[in-house]
Amino acid sequence: MHAFPLCRKLTADDAASVARVEKACFSLPWTEPQIASAFTQKAYGAFGLFSENLLGYISVYHVVPEMEILNLAVLPAYRRKGYGRFLLMTCLQASQKMGIHTVWLEVRERNVAARALYDSVGFVVSGVRAKYYSDTGEDACILVFSMT
């Protein structure tokens, strides 16, 4: 039986690993300096899943009572194993303990897999940002999750 990877809070020391996952998963990845800078902000937080290396992560900005999910990424070779759902649920559980009432994010309109994941845990579409993504001109769906 395959053991589930270790999940832990990420720190600035993990910036290079996060950048590698970003590059493998996104057409507009954050750079290592951008990620390292984010860790200096009090409102920034991230959790990661590790085997020997970082397999996936979720990053957020949080100011009680709100949280924005910035990125949720799992390396392509490790997708469809429940890791993205695990990261999302870990984040939602932590946010509830922090007193967060509302969680929101933007997702590419055509990202069917991500939208299905968010829908399955109760996120709902609250709006659209037209032509949000500069690489494709694709719209972003604004999704919201209420803790109450």
Radius of gyration of the chain (CA): 15
- pLDDT, tens only, 115-146: 999 999 999 999 999 999 999 999 999 999 99
d(CA 104, CA 143): 5
Q: Kindly state the average pLDDT of the residues 15-29.
A: 96
Measure Cα distances from 48 to 15, 57, 148 in Å: 11, 4, 26
**Helix (H) and strand (E) counts in the chain:** 4, 7
Is the CB of residue 139 less than 8 Å from the CB of residue 130?
Answer: yes
Catalytic center residues: 106, 118
- pLDDT, tens only, 67-94: 999 999 999 999 999 999 999 999 999 9
The whole-angstrom distance between residue 82's C-alpha and the CA centroid of its chain comes to 14
Look at residue 4 in the predicted model and tell me its pLDDT.
75
CATH of domain 6-146: 3.40.630.30
- pLDDT, tens only, 96-108: 999 999 999 999 9
